[in-house]
Structure 1
Amino acid sequence: MIVGTAGHIDHGKTSLVKALTGVDADRLKEEKARGITIDLGYAYSDLGDGRQLGFVDVPGHERFVHNMLAGATGIDAALLVVSAAEGIKPQTVEHLQILDLLGLDRGLVALTKCDLVNDDELLDRMAEVETLLSTTSLRGAEIVPVSAVTGQGVQELKEKLLVLGESGKGAAGFARLAVDRCFVLSGAGVVVTGTVHAGEIRVDDRLLLTPSGIEARVRSLHAQNRPAEIGRAGERCALNLAGPRLSKDAIRRGDWVVSPELHAPTDRIDVRLSLLASEAQALKHWSPVHVHLGSAHVMGRVALLEGERLQPGDSGLAQIVLDEKVGALAGDRVILRDPSAIRTMAGATTIDPFGPPRNRRAERRLLELAALVEPDADVLPQLLRLDSGFVDLARFGLSRNLRPAEVEKLLEAASGARLEGFGFLAETLDAAKKDIVETLKTFHETKPDAPGLQAERLRVTLKRRWPAPVFKALLDQAIRAKAVTVDGAFLRLPGHSLKLGSRDEALWQKILADMTRDRFKPPRVRDFAETYDAPEADTRRLLQRLAKLGRIVEVAPDHYFLRPVVAEMIGIANDFGREFTAAEFRDKLDNGRKVAIQILEFFDRHGITIRRGDLRRAVPQKIGQYGPPPTP
């Protein structure tokens, strides 16, 4: 378990930690010289049964609250320190507000310097502290009078700390450690320290730094100040890291060391935000703030989602738009301070770490956020019943640090089904398939002479407009079920076929015979019109229609080739196996230089060939673009 101290400057936090552990947590030369804690300090106490109680000693001076916040977000329990001689002071209140905003409900109060007051004064101080705690998450916390000088109450305090229990953090998710220190150790290299927020970290694990994405391997580790093979959620760990791009300068406080699956930096975080009742005025939309998340400290703005102002003491949905990317997951606590970093203003709980840049205030999005507030076991049934109709399972699992097997269990419990990475209810899948079929049926009835709908046109015509990747998954399912047929670039129902009128069909059969006979040099539109005494405009319209069906290809203006012949010509270009000239290609087709050049220019435009001066080279990956070439 990790215990964090909190309280006003010079109320004896560091002295108390030393009395509990025997370790002086002030490690900096300046701290020793000035007699105050400036940065985070760490100490450990052996519980006698193989477990270690870790302490994070935080600064009490108002100028160093940002350092206090870097340590406070990783603790399991709080030790609020109040001097019996001085009583409640400004940083006592602010630190307690921070603990409350972080949702810490496990903790004790150490009433220090009790050797400097009499019994009546001690009772008065205890009553003051009880009143202060009464409206916070630490209400009812035990108050223990102690003296680091005489030793009074120190053993009692330690015993009561042990009773608070183990860390409540689970090890089921992927590994995640918030970096609060980085240094170089002689003979070892780069070392980072921090609290493991989730999962387990093992020696030889290959991890990533977020947000930078730098790779790192764990050479060795210490957990709770002891050499170990595994660091678990709720433990403070020191990781000796190695990597090709790794250096001390590449790592900073606020980074995360994570399993590769969790590397997803973000700069838009949707939250439930609570403004302190002590604030003198309402929080306005788009207010600039200092944002503290994990051990990170960045600037950002608050985009309110349910109005233009949030009144003191109220809470509401908001999106925090950050100036730089950070690592964040659902459930992470966020602390906001005013633009001058003088006071703590508000706290927030992350609902969705990947907030959308557009339509963030839309009713549909607000309903989604209302569902995402729910615990893991309850959220999917609600999400699947929203108008969106689906859940991106990978994004859902990532945002809540759930392994794929856990997501599958939750989906099954919600009576959902997986389709290509998306989750749906069975009735939603049935309705989507029916919508696709009925939309095509209606189109065929209104335009019987059209071949069908192209995919994007079908997507935007459906009753429910699915995002493109989701629509593709639904369409693929309908195609596999043979409810929809793919005909070239068009989608149609299996029973539908384009039927030409008797006059057009007769003309097409004549043209088809000519195009088959002179396959590498077919006549042009005007030639067909003149040969068969047909209006040129009608002939052109017929061939354009057949091109849309994918039966023929317009290689040059008004010059069409049968689709299988285009595939055959691509095969001929590939058969050279080297760069070739237009003359060589012409000789293979025996169709004249002009037509050969037109064909090659068509190939160039479509990336089938690459031209370099007078030479061309076929691109093998394009050989099947118009179907397989005929086998020799």
Structure 2
Amino acid sequence: MIIGTAGHIDHGKTTLVKALTGVDCDRLKEEKARGITVDLGYAYTPTLGFIDVPGHEKLIHNMLAGATGIDFALLVIAADDGPMPQTREHLEIIELLGIRQGAIALTKIDLADPDGTVDRQKQAEIEIRALLAGTALADAPIFPVAANSGRGIAELRSHLDRIAGEQGARPPSGGFRLAVDRCFTLSGAGTVVTGTAFAGTVKVGDQLLLSPARQAVRVRSLRVQDAPAESGHAGQRIALALAGIEKSEVERGMWVVAPALHAPLRRFDARIRVLAGQPALKHWTQVHLHLGAEDVPARVALLAGEQIEPGSENWAQITVDRDIGTLAGDRFILRDASARHTIGGGIVLDIAPPSRKRRSPERLAMLAALADSDPAKALQLAAEQQAAGVELSVYGLNRNLDSAALKALSQRLGLKLVGDLAFAPGRWQALEELLFAALAAEHQRAPDQPGVERDRLRRLTLPTLPRPAFDALLAQPLKDGRIAQSHAWLHLPEHRVQLAPADLEQWQILKPLLDATPYAPPRVRDVARQSGMGEDNVRGLFKRIARHGDAWPVAHDHYFTAAAVADLARRVAELNASEGCARAAPLRDQIGGGRKVAIHILEFFDRIGYTRRVRDTHILRGSPEQFGS
């Protein structure tokens, strides 16, 4: 269990931690000389990890770097002073960070009543209960202690050990995330970063990323709770010795993450709560954002209303001045632009918010679903809202859900899965209805056309629907005969366009000339010369044949049969599968002929959208099935 101290300066936090663990958390010369904690300190027992934070108001930014990631708050209040300004601010921060477990150490009881009476101690306890009323720590136990003499220390330590035993280990689900709050070099280990693991597991040899810098690192060794270990997991204090990075490249506030979780951002949607004692938070207010161990200037754009009243909460989009790392569920604190007062805090909901319609009722409903602890709520609503499907990888990244968790969620909700996309059953049925309606409308618009090309039908159905999803949508109607395919044309079974008898007779005469050299057929003028027909007649015939789907105009006055184009499409797909792309030279080697013909073929596929040209390569976009058999 990770315990964070909290409280006013000089109330004995560091002395108390030393009494509990035997470790002096003040490690800096300045701390020794001044007798106050300036930066974060750490101490460990076999079951507990302590983060000792500064109490001075000017060092709240250091306090916050250690507070986001603790399980248990140990609020330290000196009996001779009672609650003080930083006691109240630290308590507010504990509340905003969602920390629900804690205890109060009433320190310096030997100084409060040196004559042996307990009047001041009792008065301090009354003041503490009044301070805690209405907070998550309202019923937290109070432990009177005198750290220098050891009085009350055993009882407090026993309580902390018992709570740690009851709490158990945090489930190490999702990818690994560690918020870096300290970095140093160590002889024999190299660059070492320390922090609290927010999620996942890590082991020696793992390849990770320093984010948002996108610097690849490898775990050489690690320590968990200041003891050597082979692995660590969520909820633990971990020190990672990293290969591939220098100390100068690491800053407090960075993350060490599994590579799949590297997602630097400049804005995110959140739910924000404003403290009761602060002014209303207005739209586009400049703030300091404290998240993980990060401190970054930011602005708050409100998504409902023009301000958030004191003591209330609402939705907002936060825009930061530089790239940061975060995921849904992370807690944060907001301080004013001068970093003197804590304004409020909240929880991250969406790391990839939309740029448009961010205040629409549908979006606000989605934010409410994202705020629910059950990830199924938001996934269900997204699948119902998004006609083109939900990208599971994007949804999973936001909540740090692995593929197994996403699959289980989808099955629980009965979603239709197509690759990485998930569809609500009602949405999938509506897409099929749109498909048939688009096909029928095209038949009515162009009754002389044999049908609709696959990619055009996709755009008519839903332009944003990805090709793989459209292919899956089309597969069942093709299989059960509700939609027919003639070469590259898709049509309803009852829709038939026949060639005129004269055209069919002439095509049967000319087609063998194209079939003789299917990958380099003669051009229109050559066909006319070989057949003895007029060139204009051949050209007109081939155009009508192409509209019917039995031939394709691959280049100007250069027609290939539908069978040849279907075979070429298959070859291009195979080249993409084996080499990652198609190029003219490998295609030429397969089909023979000159390189120029291969270039014409690939440019034709680019033109009709089957492939996409990238410099001298051609990347597959469609599927061979769109050309029929």
TM interval, shorter chain, is: 0.7 to 0.9
How big is each residue's C-alpha offset from its partner over 1:187-225, in whole Å with a ceiling of 9 and x where there is no partner? 211111111122221122222222222222222111111
- Following superposition, the deviation at residue 407 of structure 1 comes to 2.0
How big is each residue's C-alpha offset from its partner over 1:447-470, in whole Å with a ceiling of 9 and x where there is no partner? 2223434556534543x6654367
Partner of 1:614: none
Whether the 8 Å CA contact 1:373–1:379 is kept in 2: the answer is no
Distance 1:290 1:624, change over 3 A: closer
For the pair 1:443 / 2:435, whether they are aligned, the reply is no
Matches within 5 A, 1:54-133: 54-118=49-113, 119-133=118-132
5+ unaligned residues in a row in structure 2: which ranges? Answer: 573-583, 607-614, 625-629
How big is each residue's C-alpha offset from its partner over 1:302-340, in whole Å with a ceiling of 9 and x where there is no partner? 222112222222211112222222222221111111111
How big is each residue's C-alpha offset from its partner over 1:575-616, in whole Å with a ceiling of 9 and x where there is no partner? 9989xxxxxx9xx79xxxxxx99x6985796699xxxxxxxx
How big is each residue's C-alpha offset from its partner over 1:417-465, in whole Å with a ceiling of 9 and x where there is no partner? 3221222344443332233133212322332223434556534543x66
- Following superposition, the deviation at residue 625 of structure 1 comes to 11
Whether the 8 Å CA contact 1:336–1:344 is kept in 2: the answer is yes
Whether the 8 Å CA contact 1:524–1:559 is kept in 2: the answer is no
Percent identity between the two aligned chains: 42
1: CA distance between counterparts of 2:560 and 2:471? 34
- Following superposition, the deviation at residue 18 of structure 1 comes to 1.2
Distance 1:574 1:395, change over 3 A: closer
Whether the 8 Å CA contact 2:178–2:195 is kept in 1: the answer is yes
- Following superposition, the deviation at residue 77 of structure 1 comes to 0.2
How big is each residue's C-alpha offset from its partner over 1:126-161, in whole Å with a ceiling of 9 and x where there is no partner? 111111111222221112222223322222222222
- Following superposition, the deviation at residue 71 of structure 1 comes to 0.5
- Following superposition, the deviation at residue 70 of structure 1 comes to 0.9
5+ unaligned residues in a row in structure 1: which ranges? Answer: 46-50, 579-584, 590-595, 609-617, 628-632
2: CA distance between counterparts of 1:623 and 1:6? 59
2: CA distance between counterparts of 1:601 and 1:403? 43
Q: Which among 317, 320, 334 is matched to residue 318 of structure 2?
A: 320
Whether the 8 Å CA contact 2:458–2:467 is kept in 1: the answer is no
Partner of 2:612: none
Partner of 1:422: 421
Q: Say which SS state the counterpart of residue 170 (structure 1) adopts.
A: coil
Whether the 8 Å CA contact 2:15–2:24 is kept in 1: the answer is yes
Distance 1:287 1:168, change over 3 A: farther
How big is each residue's C-alpha offset from its partner over 1:548-572, in whole Å with a ceiling of 9 and x where there is no partner? 947231623x66565678899x99x
Whether the 8 Å CA contact 2:383–2:390 is kept in 1: the answer is no
1: CA distance between counterparts of 2:439 and 2:425? 22
Whether the 8 Å CA contact 1:106–1:164 is kept in 2: the answer is no
- Following superposition, the deviation at residue 546 of structure 1 comes to 2.1
2: CA distance between counterparts of 1:489 and 1:136? 68
Partner of 1:8: 8
- Following superposition, the deviation at residue 370 of structure 1 comes to 2.1
Q: Say which SS state the counterpart of residue 26 (structure 1) adopts.
A: coil
Distance 1:328 1:494, change over 3 A: farther
How big is each residue's C-alpha offset from its partner over 1:210-250, in whole Å with a ceiling of 9 and x where there is no partner? 2222222222111111111121222111111113xx22122
Partner of 2:227: 226
Distance 1:554 1:217, change over 3 A: closer
1: CA distance between counterparts of 2:306 and 2:346? 17
Distance 1:12 1:516, change over 3 A: closer
2: CA distance between counterparts of 1:312 and 1:622? 55
Code of the residue aligned with 1:121 in structure 2: it is R
Distance 1:216 1:525, change over 3 A: same
2: CA distance between counterparts of 1:177 and 1:94? 26
Partner of 1:179: 180
Q: Say which SS state the counterpart of residue 37 (structure 2) adopts.
A: coil
Partner of 1:283: 281
For the pair 1:397 / 2:396, whether they are aligned, the reply is yes
Partner of 1:522: 524
CA RMSD in angstroms comes to 3.9
Whether the 8 Å CA contact 2:192–2:241 is kept in 1: the answer is yes
Distance 1:527 1:446, change over 3 A: farther
2: CA distance between counterparts of 1:412 and 1:575? 43
How big is each residue's C-alpha offset from its partner over 1:355-388, in whole Å with a ceiling of 9 and x where there is no partner? 2233322333222222222233642673266232
2: CA distance between counterparts of 1:373 and 1:142? 31
Whether the 8 Å CA contact 1:12–1:83 is kept in 2: the answer is yes
1: CA distance between counterparts of 2:310 and 2:587? 77
Number of aligned residues: 589
Distance 1:197 1:540, change over 3 A: same
Code of the residue aligned with 1:169 in structure 2: it is R
Partner of 1:345: 343
For the pair 1:36 / 2:39, whether they are aligned, the reply is no
For the pair 1:388 / 2:386, whether they are aligned, the reply is yes
Matches within 5 A, 1:551-590: 551-553=551-553, 555-556=555-556
Partner of 1:48: none
Code of the residue aligned with 1:317 in structure 2: it is W
Whether the 8 Å CA contact 1:254–1:296 is kept in 2: the answer is yes
Code of the residue aligned with 1:253 in structure 2: it is R
- Following superposition, the deviation at residue 56 of structure 1 comes to 0.2
Question: TM-score when scaled to structure 1?
Answer: 0.82
